[in-house]
């Protein structure tokens, strides 16, 4: 697994965890914060930003009553499904829409006029 895929998987795991927390009856950011002995905004910000340590992940999954391995497996399925959906049928890497790798026009300001040096004599 490369770094980009690991980052994508971590983000999907955190997103899935955030959804589980939101769907769990009676669970609030405040109740999670009490269990973790931190501020409720810290819990919310960590879930929204994807910055969740492994310890925090296990505490939240335990409080939400879900199996952490099942949650990770769900996230892996989602990431793999997205990867398959984004690949073109001919297995070429995806490009950004119809854009091609054509050179961009220069933004540098050119000095002088368009008549060339023969008029400046």
**Whether residue 80 has pLDDT greater than 80:** yes
pLDDT for the residue numbered 120: 56
Residue 75 domain flag = yes
Phi, psi dihedrals of residue 78, rounded to the nearest 5°? -65, -45
Residue 76 domain flag = yes
**Whether residue 42 has pLDDT greater than 80:** yes
pLDDT of 7-26, one tens digit each?
888 888 988 888 888 888 88
Residue 95 domain flag = no
Mean pLDDT on 20-34: 86
Residue 33 domain flag = yes
pLDDT for the residue numbered 71: 92
pLDDT for the residue numbered 100: 57
pLDDT for the residue numbered 48: 85
Residue 84: partners with Cβ closer than 8 Å, 6 or more residues away: none
* CATH number, domain containing residue 34: 1.10.260
**For the chain, what percent of residues have pLDDT higher than 90?**
11
Domain boundaries, position 17: 3-85
pTM of the predicted model, to two decimals? 0.60
Residue 109 domain flag = no
As given in the structure block, the two tokens for residue 14 are 């955190």
Exposed e or buried b for every residue in 15-33, given b needs 16+ CB within 10 A? ebbbebbeebeebebeebb
Residue carrying the six token digits 């999954």: 61
- What total of structural domains would you count in the chain? 1
65 vs 121, more confident: 65
Residue 46: exposure state from Cβ atoms within 10 A (0-12, 13-18, ≥19) = buried
As given in the structure block, the two tokens for residue 34 are 């009490």
Residue 112 domain flag = no
């Amino acid at each position: 697994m490369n770094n980009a895929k690991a980052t994508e998987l971590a983000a999907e795991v955190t997103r899935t965890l955030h959804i589980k927390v939101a769907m769990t009856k009676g669970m609030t950011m405040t109740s999670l914060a009490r269990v973790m002995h931190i501020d409720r905004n810290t819990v919310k910000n960590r879930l929204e930003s994807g910055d969740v340590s492994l310890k925090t992940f296990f505490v939240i999954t335990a409080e939400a009553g879900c199996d952490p391995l099942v949650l990770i497996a769900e996230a892996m399925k989602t990431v793999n499904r997205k990867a398959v959906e984004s690949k073109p049928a001919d297995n070429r890497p995806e490009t950004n829409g119809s854009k091609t790798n054509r050179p961009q026009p220069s933004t540098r300001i050119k000095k002088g006029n368009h008549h060339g040096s023969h008029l400046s004599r």
